[in-house]
Amino acid sequence: MHRLLIIRHAKSDWPEGVPDHERPLGPRGERDAPAVGSWLVEEGWIPHRAIVSTARRTRETWQLLSDQLPEPPVASFQERLYAAPWRELLAVVQELPEEVPIAALVGHNPGCEELASELAGSGDGAARAEMAHKFPTSGVAVIELENHWSATRPGEGILIDFQAPRG
């Protein structure tokens, strides 16, 4: 059994003249990202591996989040997560090593929201309704998967929780 934490980056800023890939976190994002890490620790969902988009806002989210973890896991920063559609994100998940029980994917919408929706074939009703309503910045979908990472398919996951911790 595996757990996938699908995390949308924290709230970013929109500085004039800065390319989208290089947009930093805004003040709210700088407060919320550590709250996500603290929430993961409180719930016992500490990732053993992280896959993070190379965009500045996702890297900053991961750094602030992982600073709250007792032992930050190995992180892989991948360009292909930037603005990736859900099928590309699923391909990245399918490449995870089997020995990793809990993995975090830190990315962007709409890909994160769509991946979570596609994977979660069942699960907590309130969490499903909340996620269907909105997948906000700092949103975290916790999905349980019973198959090997490589065999992960749409509809086979169980949505355990969905939150957007705020700092």
Q: Say which CATH number the domain at 19 has.
A: 3.40.50.1240
Residue-range definition of the domain harbouring residue 75: 2-163
Query: Strand 2-8's sheet: what is its strand order?
Result: 74-78, 49-53, 102-107, 2-8, 140-145, 157-163, 120-123
Q: What is the number of domains present in the chain?
A: 1
Q: What is the pLDDT of residues 23-43, one digit of tens each?
A: 999 999 999 999 999 999 999
Q: pTM for the whole thing?
A: 0.97
Q: What is the pLDDT of residues 85-125, one digit of tens each?
A: 999 999 999 999 999 999 999 999 999 999 999 999 999 88
Q: What is the pLDDT of residues 43-85, one digit of tens each?
A: 999 999 999 999 999 999 999 999 999 998 999 999 999 999 9
